[in-house]
Each structure stands twice: as structure tokens, then as C-alpha cells.
Structure 1
Amino acid sequence: MVSLLSRAPYLAYLPKPTSSSLRPPQPAMSSSSAAAPVEAAAQPRKLPVLLFDVMDTLVRDPFYHHIPAFFQMSMKELLESKHPTAWSEFEKGLIDETCNAGVTCPRSTGAARNTAVFLFAVTLQTCEAPSCRTGIGRHAPCEARRGVQTLVAFKKPDNELAKKFFNDGRSFDLEGLKECMVRAYEYIDGVEDILCCLKKNNYEMHAFTNYPVWYQLIEDKLKLSKYLSWTFCSCRTGKRKPSPEFYLQAIDHLNVDPASCIFIDDRMVNIEAALSVGMVGLQFKNAEALRKDLCALGVELPPLVCEGDAQVQ
């Protein structure tokens, strides 16, 4: 068994596991807590809520094999040459792939996308006075103005991630790197079947991941949103696992008792952080072990046929 359990039990209305319990004994309920309103119990929120790490829990991480091969390096060489904090800053949204931090790039035209300048359409207030040579109404005598779409040239912002990725600032094909990663993204064997079963049984599921805006590339290829919501991405929250603040932020957002959250991750350090805030933790090893651990915790995972599957599980 690869599960690690929280220091607090589930809420009393969670289903009991049919196998031997892996949780601490349930505390006795007071008479007041036992008399929960019947109306609220009519359609209760289905618990537990499941929080999934993504890379190497649901989706294969390209970093360990495909990325070194892309750079024609060994893993040791890549680790020694890459900037120690650039990727984590990218994951937290502190630096951007194409712009300076906090700057939104105007959309460039295809012809200018990879050049030092780019063009985009802006609405300028133009002056119609015959004596105006600028065409732009910036002087007091000009009163007749109209808005027009004009192509304006600007210096393209620095590619912040590409400039900082390596310690020595060497250039590389960033778009090629992204394409390499997209080719490598795939579900870990058996995991999509589990997600499908959980979805069919109406469990609430969220991604809880350290990943940059490139999570959109994963979504575009694998359509994870069929099963879960990309609610907790480090690039959107500004926090990363194993920071306890990230977990507490999730608990606050979900408005749920932490003991009613099951967190699944392949890294023990992230599991320990989940336990520290009262969540239930499962360390992912493989899909078969995950299924058994979830069932042991009372999560309903009956065999069923998911859309597109050729056979019954």
C-alpha cells in the first residue's frame, strides 16, 4: 500500500471503505452534530474532493528523457547548465515565455513574429485638418478626429524564458522545445480509465500542479478538462508545491475540510506537505496501486466502460 493518510479523519458522512480501514478511528459524534438538517443531506456535495498532481502522476513528464535528447545533452549536463531558478520562476508566473514579467504582448503578425520588430493594429485618433502633417491629433487646434486602425511598429519584447533558461544565456529553439514536449505528453498507462470512472461517479477533481502556462499545451493534446478542472496551477496562483500556502489556498478556495481532500502526487515531499495541513495523501506509483488505494479509502471505483474504450475494465 502506498498511501499516506492525514492526521484527521474524513467527515462523518464520507462512505466507509469496505476493506480494512486505513484511517484513524472516527470520533464519536455529538447529538447536535448527528442531527444534521435533512434538507442539507438531500443532495450533499460528494466527498472526498480529489486533487491530482499532473506530471508523472497523470501525464508523462518529458523532462527526464525527451528534453535532454532535444538539447543533445545527458541529464547531468542539462542540470549543470540550466539556470537554477528560471523554470521554477516560469512555473510561478514570475517570468514569461515571450515578454517581460507582468507585460502583456500585443499580438504580432506572422511575418514579424520572429523579428526584432513586430506590427499590430491599434486605434489612433487621427486629425483631419488639412494643415496637420502628422495625421495624429495630438495638438490643440485639431478638433476633427476619427479612430482608424493603423499598423504600428514596436520593438519586440525580449524572450525572457529563453534568455534565462541556461546559465550562460545561450540561445535555443524555444518553439522546437515546446513541440518536443507536446509530442511527449501522454497519459500514464491506466490513469485515464481511473479518471473516467471517477468522473462517471460524480467526484469533484482538480489539477494541483507546479506548471507554467504550457499546461495549455497538455490540455490541447490530452483534454484533461474532460475529467478535472485546471483550478490550481502554480503559474496562476504564484505558489508552488510543497509550500503549505499553496495547499491552504486550495482548501480555502474549495471551502472544504482538509480531511475531505485526497491529494495524489508521485513525490513524497509534496505528500508530506499535504499531510501537514490535514489532507489525505496518496503517493502515486502506478494506476493499479492507485485504484486499490482509492478503493481502500472508500472511493467508488466500480468497473465500467468509458467512452472510446474497447473493453470492460
Structure 2
Amino acid sequence: MVSLLPRAPCLASLPKPATAASFSLWRPAMSSLSATAHAPVAVGAATGQPRKLPVLLFDVMDTIVRDPFYHHIPDFFQFRIPLMSMKELLESKHPTAWSEFEMGLIDENELAKKFFNDGRSFDLEGLKECMVSAYEYIDGVEEILCCLKQNNYEMHAFTNYPVWYQLVENKLKLSKYLSWTFCSCLTGKRKPSPDFYLQAVDHLNVDPASCIFIDDRMANIEAALSVGMVGLHFKNAEVLRKDLCSLGVELAPCVHEDEAQVQ
């Protein structure tokens, strides 16, 4: 049974409504936060060097970076294909082309051919430019990533995204904070498949309960719970900061590189 923990020290017996003010930590009933998420270090089997736990696994779109799909992409197609609403876009696009692209099963040229069910062509380079122009950090999240990095936490992207993740990296430089280790186009697996999560645990060589998984979609959180990870349902940066602190994750004030140079 999965329980929802409030910010108060005591456990609630019933889940609270998923509002921006409610606590968003979910965990497997059998996991022990005091024994895992609060543990300061562990020894990495591969290197023999101290390893700070927990390991943090971040979804990217709508958790770290604003996803342009629901706002900018419809406008892009409406400008080029008049009167195409969001509903019409969803109905006319190929049902599996994007997920195939995310898993690396097709390249962007094949995506362009399959994107619409009727095979109509569109400006692929224009679409990419539209997406790049829209990529931006969600308010407050980069500050949290900076704090986590300066406190020596190990962080990895755990995301369903195609090779265009490189466009995100080129613009926002996420690799300053985390590794693009678990990207669906590199692994051939997508959330919420439990195999994806198990692959990550195996690669990291850690106990699942030593991983905190952060995502804006509950289906992906539930999959993480099923393999024994701790899950945080992302709502906004303020809630995320409070949730991480409640787990004992260190979030000392972030000192930016330019500030450090002045000092």
C-alpha cells in the first residue's frame, strides 16, 4: 500500500488532495527513509570511494524545463496549417511516431515522414527552432539544482526524450548539474516501464530506496514506487525544496560561480 506523507512529522492515514500546498512525497510502504534517504554516504562498489546518498533522478520536461509541446507547438502548426487546433493536432498526428523517436527507433527524418497520419509534410527545422526558443528552466528549479550540486549529490536525468535532448543541453547546459544518463533515446526504454527504472538501479549499483525520483506525472511516480524508489511528485520549485528538506537532503544556499569569483 502506498501512503502520502504530509510535511508535519506525523504520518497521515489518508492521502490529501494533490494541491500546490499539499505534500508531494510518495514512497513504498516497506522502504525506510531513516535508513536510506537520511544516510549521508555509502561506498560505491565500483570505485571504492565514498558515495553520498540519496541519488537523485530527475524527469526533465515540466520538471526542470518547460515543455513547449502544449503551448508553443500548437501555435507553430496553427501558423503554418491554419485552423489547426490543439485537438486537431492530437487527432491528426501519428499515434506512435513521437514515442518511437523518443526511444531512438526512428530518426528525425523518419519522424517528419510519419508525424502526421496523412503523411503531410511540415517544416522540421522550423519546429526544432520553435522548441529551442521555448526551452527555459522552470522558475526556481535551477537554483535547487545548483544547491544540490554544491552539496555533492549525484544527479541524473531520467527522461523520455529523443536525441533532441542535445538541443536542450546546448541552450540550458543542464550538464552543469546532472548527467543525461537515463534518456529514452539512449536506453531504448521509456517511463513508466518498470524495466527502465530497474535498468537505472542496476547501472547505478544502488538500492532502489537510495534513489529519489522526481517527476510531474503520477504514473511515472507510481512506476518508481513499484521498484522500491522514493518518489516526489513535482508541482513547483518551492514545494520541491520543502519536500527534499523533509527527507534530510542538504540544500545549503547556492553560491553562483560569478559570486564565488567576487569573493
Q: 5+ unaligned residues in a row in structure 1: which ranges?
A: 18-35, 98-158
Provide the residue aligned with 1:96 in structure 2. 107
CA–CA separation in structure 2 for the residues paired with 1:292 and 1:175: 40
Q: How far apart, in 2, do the equivalents of 1:308 and 1:189 lie?
A: 20
CA distance, structure 2, for counterparts of residue 271 and residue 14 of structure 1: 17
Partner AA of 1:88 in structure 2:
S
Distance change (3 Å), C-alpha of 1:14 and 1:2: closer
* Alpha carbons of structure 1 residues 263 and 14: separation in structure 2 relative to 1, 3 Å: closer
Q: Taking every aligned residue pair, what percent have the same amino acid on both sides? A: 84
Determine the C-alpha separation between the residues in 2 that align with 1:299 and 1:83: 42
Question: Under a length normalisation based on structure 2, what TM-score does the superposition of the two structures give?
Answer: 0.82
Q: Aligned with 2:225: secondary structure? A: helix
1:167 aligned residue (109, 117, 120): 117
| Residues matched between the structures, number | 227
AA aligned to 1:255 is N
**Distance 1:14-1:69 versus aligned 2 partners, 3 A rule:** closer
The offset of 1:202, in angstroms, is: 0.3
Task: Return the offset for 1:2.
Answer: 1.1
Matches of 2:152 and 2:252 in 1, distance apart? 13
Instruction: Give the aligned partner of residue 6 of structure 1.
Output: 28
* Larger Rg, first or second structure (1 or 2): 1
* 1:11–1:260 Cα contact (<8 Å) kept: no
Q: Look up the equivalent residue of 1:83 and give its one-letter code.
A: H
From the two aligned structures, give the one with the greater helix fraction.
Answer: 2
* Aligned partners of 1:193 and 1:306 also within 8 Å: no
Partner residue in 2 for 1:183:
133
2:91 is paired with a residue whose SS is helix
Q: SS of 2:185's equivalent? A: helix
SS of the equivalent of 2:50 reads coil
Deviations along 1:54-89, one digit per CA (max 9) or x if unpaired, are 000000000001000000032111101100000000
1:86 aligns with 2:92: no
Q: Is the 8 A contact 2:36 2:54 kept in 1?
A: no
State the distance in 2 between where 1:62 and 1:223 align: 17
Match of 2:15 in 1: none
Where in structure 2 are the equivalents of 1:203-214 lying within 5 Å? 203-214=153-164
**Structure 2 residue identity aligned to 1:298:** G
Contact 1:16–1:297 at 8 Å: present in 2 too?
A: no
Task: State the distance in 2 between where 1:169 and 1:278 align.
Answer: 43
User: Amino acid of the residue matched to residue 250 of structure 2?
Assistant: E
